[in-house]
Amino acid sequence: MQNKQSIHGAWANRWIFILAATGSAVGLGNIWKFPYIAGENGGGAFVLVYLFCILLVGVPIMMAEVLVGRRGRQSPINSMREVAYEAGHHGRWAGVGWMGALAGFFIFSFYSVVAGWVLYYIAGMGSGKFVDIGSEEAGQMFGALLEDPETLLIWHSLFVVLVMMVIAGGVNKGLERATRVLMPLLFVLLFVLLAYSINSGYFAEGWDFLFHFEPEALTWNAVLVALGHAFFTLSLGMGSIMAYGSYMGKRDSIGGTVLAIAGLDTLVALIAGLAIFPIVFGNQLDPGAGPGLMFITLPVAFSQMAGGQVFGFLFFLMVGFAAWTSAISLMEPGAAWLVETLGLSRTKASILLGVLVWLLGLLALGSFNVTSDFLIFGMTAFDFLDFLTANIMLPLGGFFVAVFVGWYLTREMSEDELALRSSLIYQLWRVVIRYVSPVAVAVIFALNLYQKLVG
Ligand code: PFF
């Protein structure tokens, strides 16, 4: 067993790693994206496929990413290269790390715009802007925000600065400290909101919508969206989890840890759905409202409920925390690489990356107003960046990690690093990572592209 350490530091213990990786996984994907894409794709039918994708593709690939990170003990780009050398292969495997860093950069740019909306809503809820509004008004208020580049710019910039501050602090004084404070708060808020929603009187409708499986509601498109979302929500395919894995303790079990992370991530998505849909149904709102679901329907609902202002404020605060801990992990692979390879300080690395993502974010931000006419393949920059990353770059990154770990690493390397208790489980994982995950990703990926480009 190798005993290398990362130059960037190490998590204090296994639980901190679980919480930090869960912080990466739980984000806008769970609370903003999951409910609205489940709503758009028929609820229960989508949820079931999504759970399959998490288990059959997400969990094995997450194990592979953590394995490579801990083996290489460096940024994803350098770890991929090191581990490829160790296995006797070409250093061009670092290219997977490069694509990941680029994907992280792209995701960050639109992620931080949506996170900016969240910050605006925290302030709005706190100051009573959304008291006593109807759905039409709420729609108008959200629309007006999107059309106001200056306001968007302020909140987008603030979010980038918040992330830069944590990245500049490094693994222990930045990432770990943020994790210790934000994650427990996030869970407390989530349960407070769940209790609130259970009391709303429409819990059964929400439950039914998410878990009532209607096979006829299942479409190919739902399968495609579910797979892409499994990658997005687990932060896979771009190196975030690989980077976090490089700070993990040598003796901690990768299998159990990854199951905990994926389990918590799924739990939060389902609880977010269970917190949101009862409120939606309670107010006769449309579950398939799309990206505006959280920003239009919820403020209406909160404005009409007892204590709604306080809970609305807490809700958006929770979403803000979730977005923050995820965005940190989007920047970490690039920051670690800059420190390792160019010898920059953490502060310089975070400023450099912060300025870059801020600039690209301007394009995503302008998609709703000044640059709304600027289309790429018929999509605004915002939609294109989302499509390109979730539907192409992340599945592709995950595919290559699976192929690399399944076919190119020696059996001794993966067996030693995973140190699974039973050889049967190792065998099972190996079959899945060699055959099931890559084939599933390749098939769905190809269909996805075909549908988008031709269909
Ligand atoms: N997993 C995050 C979410 O669900 O919001 C988003 C994300 C973070 C995606 C980090 C990819 C990533 F590498």
For atom 13 of ligand 1, the residue with the nearest CA is: 235
Residue 63 has a pLDDT of: 98
The CB of 239 under 6 Å from ligand 1? The reply is no
Gap from CA of 267 to ligand 1 centroid (Å): 16
Q: Is the CB of 107 under 6 A from ligand 1?
A: yes
In this structure, the number of other CB atoms found within 10 A of the CB of residue 53 comes to 25
**C-alpha 424 – ligand 1 centre gap (Å):** 31
Q: Ligand 1 atom 12: the closest Cα is on which residue?
A: 235
Please state the atom number of ligand 1 nearest to the C-alpha of residue 322: 5
Whole-angstrom CA distances from 260 to 254, 267, 295, 302, 321 are 10, 10, 30, 32, 20
- The Cβ of residue 95 has, within 10 Å, a number of other Cβ atoms equal to 14
Determine whether the shortest distance from the Cβ of 25 to ligand 1 is under 6 A: yes
Q: How close is the Cα of 234 to the center of ligand 1, in Å?
A: 6
pLDDT at position 161 = 98
Distance from CA of residue 323 to its chain's centroid?
8
Could you identify the atom of ligand 1 that is nearest to the CA of residue 232?
Answer: 9
What is the 452 CA–ligand 1 centroid distance (Å)?
A: 23
Taking CA 309 as the corner, what is the angle to CA 307 and CA 315, rounded to the nearest 5 degrees?
100
Contact 136, 144 (CB under 8 A): no
The answer to whether the CB of 30 is under 6 A from ligand 1 is yes
**Tokens matching residue 116:** 């900016």
Closest atom of ligand 1 to 265 CA is 4
What SS3 state is found at 252?
Answer: coil
Please list, in sequence order, all residues whose beta carbon lies within 8 angstroms of the beta carbon of residue 175, skipping any fewer than 6 positions away: 20, 166, 167, 169, 328, 332
404 contacts 68 by C-beta, under 8 angstroms: yes
Phi, psi of 290 (to 5 degrees): 85, -160
Judged on CB neighbours under 10 Å (0-12, 13-18, 19+), 407 is: exposed
Are the C-beta atoms of residues 296 and 139 closer than 8 Å to each other? Answer: yes
All structural domains of the chain, each given as residue ranges with its CATH number in brackets, are: 14-453 (1.20.1740)
Q: Whose CA is nearest to atom 9 of ligand 1?
A: 235
What pLDDT score does 217 carry? 75
Query: What 3-state DSSP class applies to 250?
Result: coil
pLDDT by residue, tens only, the chain of 455 residues: 456 789 999 999 999 999 999 999 999 999 989 988 888 888 888 999 999 999 999 999 999 999 999 999 999 999 999 999 999 999 999 999 999 999 999 999 999 999 999 999 999 999 999 988 887 899 899 999 999 999 999 999 999 999 999 999 999 999 999 999 999 999 998 888 888 878 877 888 888 888 888 777 778 778 888 988 999 999 999 999 999 999 999 989 999 999 999 999 999 999 988 888 887 887 777 887 777 788 987 888 788 777 888 888 998 999 999 999 999 999 999 999 999 999 999 999 999 999 999 999 999 999 999 999 999 989 999 999 998 998 889 999 999 999 999 999 999 999 999 998 889 999 999 999 999 999 999 988 788 778 767 76
Give the DSSP per-residue string, 360-383. HHHHHHHTTTTTTT-EETTEEHHH
104 ligand 1 Cβ < 6 A: yes
The rounded Å distance from CA 235 to ligand 1 centre is 4
pTM of the model: 0.94
Does residue 329's CB lie within 6 angstroms of at least one atom of ligand 1? yes
Q: Decide whether any atom of ligand 1 lies within 6 Å of the 238 Cβ.
A: yes
Task: Decide: 434 and 388 in contact? Cβ < 8 Å.
Answer: no
Residue type, 393: M
Dist. CA 347 → ligand 1 center (Å)? 23
Does ligand 1 lie within 6 Å of residue 232's CB atom? yes
CA of 329 to the centre of ligand 1 (A): 8
8 A C-beta contact, residue 427 and residue 378: no
**Residue 29 Cα to ligand 1 middle (Å):** 7
Mutate to test the pocket of ligand 1, among 108, 183, 235, 324 (most ligand atoms within 8 A of CB): 235
Q: What's the CA gap between 317 and 333, in Å, rounded?
A: 26
Mutate to test the pocket of ligand 1, among 326, 388, 394 (most ligand atoms within 8 A of CB): 326
Query: Distance, CA 24 to ligand 1 centroid (Å)?
Result: 6
Q: Whose CA is closest to 256, among 429, 383, 90, 135?
A: 429
Q: What is the pLDDT of residue 36?
A: 83
